[in-house]
Amino acid sequence: MGNKLQSGSKLPQEKIFKITLKKSLGAWGSSHFREILKTEVEALQGNLLPLQQGLRQSSHAITDRFSVIILAISDDLNFVHIKSGIFYSGIIAGCNCADDPTPVDTQNEYCEIILNICKSNAQTEIRLYDQETDTPPFEDCGKF
């Protein structure tokens, strides 16, 4: 693993993460939706988000601490679509040899994701945002 993306490169084979965001769906349409969504996503384990796939400066994502910002929200008949940014850290891992002079230092990382929340059951697909296509993968809610 540890695919490092270079600026302007194609995304590696897209990985879609599947979770359930019941509190966020319950708040859909209220003035508290953004806050509840942010809180619910930040409470997730980092390995449930495409942090490793979104690395730009380092080779290994640190998944225990991250911060979420909501960039855009839209919906259609079946889904709530959210574009979100995630701030987190990564490290450039050395060879771990006794004589390796490379210090383990954290690098700031940022990636953008798309969350598609199914309105009927809160099942959510999460993937990296791809500015070339910018079209979330829409799947039938029953396919989880």
**What is the C-alpha to C-alpha distance for residues 6 and 3, in angstroms, rounded to an integer?**
10
pTM of the model: 0.79
pLDDT tens track for 73-92: 999 999 999 999 999 999 98
Segment 88-108 mean pLDDT: 76
Length of the chain, please? Answer: 144
- Give the residue among 109, 120, 38 at the shortest CA–CA distance from 71: 38
Query: Token pair for residue 26?
Result: 């319950």
